[in-house]
Amino acid sequence: MTTLDRETRLRRIWETIQDIPEGSVANYGQVAEISGIPRGARQVGYALRHTPKDLLLPWHRVIRSSGKIAFDSDSRHFRLQRDRLAEEGVPVINGKVDMNKYRWEPGLDELLWKPSSIWDEE
């Protein structure tokens, strides 16, 4: 098994987050698995904290596996994430999203035939 370098892991995570469709959410571990980084939920958090400012990611679609928003409920980031999800039709009730209803379940075709990259071709 080969180990991915940090830049490759970050890019894979950001590309996976970019793929989460409007009106859906994914949890940190799910994003890691789809990105090819098993048991990499913490790396997803790291990638979100270190997202380049010019990369417009739908970060608000990433939540805890329990459906809860990871930010403190009295924080500005919590309110921003809750409001962005609500704008997409994903209700947050008591700080939590119904994962049975809104969890992103990409099909094999979606994973295999997605656009190649969010990065500009060089």
Compute the half-sphere exposure of residue 107: CA atoms within 13 Å on the CB side of its CA.
3
Say what the pTM is.
0.86
In a domain, 121, yes or no: no
CA separation for the pair 56, 72 (Å, rounded): 23
Q: Could you give the number of structural domains in the chain?
A: 1
CA separation for the pair 90, 121 (Å, rounded): 33
In a domain, 52, yes or no: yes
CA separation for the pair 13, 37 (Å, rounded): 9
Confidence of residue 122 (pLDDT cuts 50, 70, 90): very low
For residue 99, give both structure tokens.
Answer: 């994962």
pLDDT digits (tens, 9 = 90+) for 11-25: 999 999 999 999 999
For residue 24, give both structure tokens.
Answer: 């859906």
Which structural domain range is residue 71 located in? 6-101
Q: 81: domain CATH number?
A: 1.10.10.10
In a domain, 67, yes or no: yes
